[in-house]
Amino acid sequence: MQRVRLRYTKRGRLRFTSHRDFQRAFERALRRAGVPMAYSAGFTPHPKVSYANAAPTGTASEAEYLEVALTEHRDPEGLRAQLDASMPTGLDIVDAVEARASDFTDRLEASEWELRLDGVAPERAGAAVAAFLAAEAVEVQRQTKKGVRSFDARAAVTSLALAEETPATRADRPGDTACAILRLVVRHLTPAVRPDDVLSGLRAAAGLAPPVPAAVTRLAQGPLDEAAGTVTDPFAPDRDALPGPTGSLSSTVATVRSGAA
């Protein structure tokens, strides 16, 4: 049995696709592409597909991950191209590697996010960021299945900063209103701290309340480089394990980055 790990995106309107919707679309793509899938045992066999840390519905992402098990060997790049051609535009399969190292989900230590705050002046957002980072703890509340839960949103945040607006984000927003762009790196802790929790923290710490919901995009997820404060490529150990020159080149892969939607 061969295992292949894939990175996929949720772009544009497809950011509103739920995880269940993506699962259905991906399983249809597997059938269209004629992928030799391994199946679970039992009365209702299912393709052996493992999903890792999916982004919330409504959140765009450049770095979602899954793993598939095959009964026949396939070239990872060829498999990626076949599956991508069978997926809706916006749910794009952008990278693939054969699984050669274990504990993949343990590598997903942190995520880098971009938060676009329409209607918020950069100066106002910058002051709120400074207040949030200066606080020892920022308690926020979230509604859960077990009721309202309080937790510290500050502890998981390793970096939060004002970023320059790019042509892509400028083209994606209506009008010429003020807009602040924030870049956020957050550890994957328990309970998980999500971008909306950090926005709640900015409101609690500095009274920042954007007039419209923030546009949130996950730019990367993977191992956290503590020294640089960046999120690195979770596929690097698999590439390093490849025989021959391909493996030696994988050490040059530093971060998971992709063009804007």
- Residue 197 and residue 142 in contact, taking contact as beta carbons nearer than 8 Å: yes
Q: What is the mean pLDDT of the chain?
A: 89
Q: Is the bond into 174 cis (omega within 30 degrees of 0)?
A: no
> How does pLDDT run across 83-110, given as a tens digit for each residue?
999 999 999 999 999 999 988 999 999 9
Question: Do 65 and 4 form a contact (C-beta atoms < 8 A)?
Answer: no
**Taking the chain, what is the end-to-end CA distance rounded to the nearest angstrom?**
35
**Phi, psi dihedral angles at 193 (to 5 degrees):** -100, 120
| Beta carbons of 127 and 202 less than 8 angstroms apart | no
Structure tokens at 103: 């504990």
- Using the structure block, give the residue that is written with the tokens 């039992």: 42
DSSP H helices, the chain, are 19-32, 76-85, 104-107, 122-134, 167-171, 195-206, 236-240, 245-249
Q: Are 259 and 12 in contact (CB under 8 A)?
A: no
Q: Do residues 143 and 126 touch, judged by C-beta distance below 8 A?
A: no
Q: Which domains does the chain have, with CATH numbers?
A: 2-105 (3.30.70.580), 110-230 (3.30.70)
What is the pTM (predicted TM-score) of this model?
0.87
Single out the residue of 59, 52, 69, 154 nearest to residue 107, CA to CA. Answer: 52
pLDDT of 246? 45
Which band of pLDDT confidence, cut at 50, 70 and 90, is reported for residue 11? very high
φ, ψ of residue 102 in degrees (nearest 5): -90, 180
How far is residue 91 from each of residues 12, 97, 195, measured CA to CA in Å? Answer: 9, 18, 21
Residue in this structure with the two tokens 């910058």, named with its chain if needed? 126
Q: What is the pLDDT of residues 179-216, one digit of tens each?
A: 999 999 999 998 899 999 999 999 999 999 999 999 99
How far apart are alpha carbons 259 and 236 in whole angstroms? 20
pLDDT for the residue numbered 168: 66
Residue 241: per-residue pLDDT? 86
- Other Cβ atoms within 10 Å of 215 Cβ, number: 20
Q: Is 214 buried (19+), middle (13-18) or exposed (0-12) by CB count in 10 A?
A: buried
